[in-house]
Structure 1
Amino acid sequence: MPIFDSTFIILIPAMLISLWAQMKVKSAFYKYSKVRSINGYTGAQVARMILDAEGLYDVPVQHIGGNLTDHYDPRARVMRLSEDVYGSTSIAAIGVAAHETGHAIQHQKEYAPLQIRGAIVPLVNFSSNASWVIFFLGFILGIPSLVNIGVYLFSAVVIFQLITLPVEFDASNRALKILSQRGILYGDEIKGAKSVLTAAAMTYVAAALMAISQLIRLLALSSRDE
């Protein structure tokens, strides 16, 4: 199975960017997790405040374990905030909490990219693993039709990652606008929150680049089998 053949070099730029993005988000979050906001609101309080202001009274804010595991679950209509965000009064925590409420607002307003992403999740969950199995099975057995099916299935992963980009950038833009308009953060605090959210957004850009690179590699491998 040609996992580490010459086409592996196609992945190196995306791997380096992914590593850089992970380091960037950890650095930015750590830096601003040490800076307490002037108003002293916790991440959970900010999430509740914004949700209520948007009429989302029925969306609970829950505490979960893990590090940066924060997310809005559109199926359960639940906001889940991690240990470092839920009870923290830092600029980083408030920025992340506001970002997740941005997703809840997207859901409420039926933001198209979010709806499309949600609709293809079952397909992506299947294709992300099955695509590789089918592709390499076809590659090893010399069955072009299976190779092509593998490529088509992995294309769904690429589409998912690309759709994720506007979803995440829009959520961050909504968050920063709300934080400023409602006076939750001020001046340099907004800049700090923006730094954290911009760094986080880069991890999604890196994920999209990795998916595209993987697809290009599959295409390169499939051309050998022709």
Structure 2
Amino acid sequence: MYFYDWTMILLIPAMLLSLYAQYKVKSAFSRYSGVRSAQNMKAEDVARDILMRTEVDVPVERVRGTLTDHYDPKNKVLRLSEAVYGQTSIAAIAVAAHECGHAVQDARDYFPLKLRNAIVPVSSIGSNLSIPLVLAGLIFSFPALVNIGIILYSAAVFFTVVTLPVEFDASYMALRILKKRSYLSQDELTGAKKVLDAAALTYVAATLAALMNLLRLILISRRR
């Protein structure tokens, strides 16, 4: 059966990395959320200033939750979570600057972001239907269903792979702007980098998990 198979061993490294990444991001965010920046600027003010200086006309809004920060390319809105909006900490400013990076990417037609946005519908379908199709194909001995499921899951995997350069570039841009405009000192930038690096690790873990699961599906399909 799919759920009880030796190939599950392939998922163990990804699971361990995912747990470690979650620990790192929570630990780093918690640590630097307690360190106020010397400039004492609120995260949303830093975000608005970055957007103004980069000539990106995007509003900054508050959204409920913790670490729910995101840039909405469809509605052209940058949303900061309750743990970031109104805060002057190094962590809050780092996260706000990172989301600004996505807004700048969108404004400048950054290709990996455009590609990721374009494949969202297919990726969503792949995430929801791939495993049920594979299972149905295995149960009813219908190889075509298994193959369709694998193809759909490949689209979801491709989405996670494309996400990596998008996130890395946004973090690189954020740190560069924070340094250039002196929103954070050199010592504070070290903390900001730790927060963003920890967040990036979660995407690496997600990509590894997706790739290992795809490999698992392929191995299972070849044995049937």
Q: Which TM-score bucket, shorter chain as reference?
A: over 0.9
Matched with 1:2 is 2
Matched with 1:116 is 115
**2:64 matched to 1:65?**
yes
**2:210 matched to 1:211?**
yes
- Measured after TM superposition, the shift of residue 70 of structure 1 is 0.1
1 CA distance for matches of 2:222 and 2:42? 54
Q: Deviations over 1:58-106 (max 9, x none)?
A: x110001111000000000000000110111000000000000000000
Structure 1 moving runs of 4+ over 4 Å: none
2 CA distance for matches of 1:180 and 1:6? 49
Residue type at the aligned position of 2:102: H
2 CA distance for matches of 1:51 and 1:165? 23
- Measured after TM superposition, the shift of residue 206 of structure 1 is 0.2
**2:157 matched to 1:147?**
no
**2:148 matched to 1:169?**
no
Q: Deviations over 1:32-56 (max 9, x none)?
A: 0000000001111111110111112
Matched with 1:38 is 38
- Measured after TM superposition, the shift of residue 8 of structure 1 is 1.2
Q: Deviations over 1:131-183 (max 9, x none)?
A: 11111111111111111111111001111111000000000000000000001
2 CA distance for matches of 1:16 and 1:129? 24
SS class of match (2:182): coil
- Measured after TM superposition, the shift of residue 5 of structure 1 is 2.1
2 CA distance for matches of 1:56 and 1:8? 46
SS class of match (1:85): coil
1 CA distance for matches of 2:80 and 2:4? 39
Residue type at the aligned position of 1:95: A
**2:51 matched to 1:51?**
yes
**2:14 matched to 1:14?**
yes
2 CA distance for matches of 1:167 and 1:56? 18
**2:21 matched to 1:28?**
no
Residue type at the aligned position of 1:207: A
2 CA distance for matches of 1:218 and 1:66? 35
Residue type at the aligned position of 1:2: Y
1 CA distance for matches of 2:111 and 2:56? 19
- Which structure 1 segments of 5+ residues have no match? none
How many residue pairs match? The answer is: 224
Indicate the percent of aligned positions where both proteins have the same amino acid: 56
SS class of match (1:84): coil
- Which structure 2 segments of 5+ residues have no match? none
- Measured after TM superposition, the shift of residue 223 of structure 1 is 1.2
Give the TM-score of the pair, scaled to structure 1.
Answer: 0.98
2 CA distance for matches of 1:41 and 1:17? 34
**2:106 matched to 1:103?**
no
Which has the higher mean CA deviation after the structures are superposed, 2-11 or 124-133? 2-11
Give the TM-score of the pair, scaled to structure 2.
Answer: 0.98
SS class of match (2:124): helix
- Measured after TM superposition, the shift of residue 4 of structure 1 is 2.5
2 CA distance for matches of 1:205 and 1:217? 18
2 CA distance for matches of 1:31 and 1:138? 48
